[in-house]
Structure 1
Amino acid sequence: MSALHVDIEYCDKCGYSEKFHDLAKYIEKKHPSVEVNGREGRRGSFEVSVNGEIVHSKLSTLAYPDYDDLQKIISEAQDGKPARTCKQQPITSCVIS
């Protein structure tokens, strides 16, 4: 079986570099054999792909991926299951007045 790849596109201008590094450490701790790659991308982006399949898009959801659910998706992919969309972290910093 070939190595599993997780690719993360993030907006450095938005300060998402730290979020990328946190997520990469989380993934590497849970799945040491998984290759995690990050790259600066489009403004506002935090897009996560597992073996080329997008499982989370901040550009579409305006939220970050749920780390625990992403870990499950990676485990499922390692078992040969197709990638599915990741749950989102709750958005708590938005206030409508």
Structure 2
Amino acid sequence: MDVKVDIEYCGGCGYLPRFEELAEKIRSTVPTANVSGKEGRTGSFEVTVNGTLIYSKLSTMAFPDFENVTEIVGEVAGGKPIRPVSVQQPINCTIL
């Protein structure tokens, strides 16, 4: 099944390398996936699969776990239903 993955990322926040890392991980694991990215809202890292939002950094304030995102894309490519990301990367926050 064709899978379209759209990732909106904050360019001003320096999230382009994270987008590239996730896109490469998806492409190497699910070669049939069509992955695209675009600069978007401040602080954003939103992941949409076939038009369904599966992760929003704007809502969680954390990045998604890239392994979990890749696993979901692989499942969708295999015909399974789209599900939301259930794992996120740890939030590294230091209060000075």
Per the alignment, residue 49 of structure 1 pairs with 48
* 1:18 Cα deviation from its structure 2 partner: 1.0
Per the alignment, residue 11 of structure 2 pairs with 12
Per the alignment, residue 74 of structure 1 pairs with 73
| Structure-1 separation of matches of 2:31 and 2:79 | 17
Deviations 1:51-85 (A, max 9, x none): 11111100000111111111111122112222111
> Could you state the TM-score of these two structures normalised by the residue count of structure 1?
0.90
Quick one: percent identity of the two aligned structures? 51
Q: Which runs of 5+ in 1 are unaligned?
A: none
Q: How many residues are aligned here?
A: 95
| Structure-1 separation of matches of 2:33 and 2:94 | 37
Structure 2 counterpart of 1:46, one-letter code: F
Q: Which runs of 5+ in 2 are unaligned?
A: none
* 1:96 Cα deviation from its structure 2 partner: 4.4
> Could you state the TM-score of these two structures normalised by the residue count of structure 2?
0.91
Question: What is the Cα-based RMSD across aligned positions, in Å?
Answer: 1.3
Are 2:33 and 2:77, in contact at CA under 8 Å, matched by a contact in 1? no
Deviations 1:17-64 (A, max 9, x none): 111111111111111110000001111100001111111100000111
Structure 2 counterpart of 1:24, one-letter code: A
User: Secondary structure of the residue that 1:80 maps to in structure 2?
Assistant: coil
Per the alignment, residue 90 of structure 1 pairs with 90
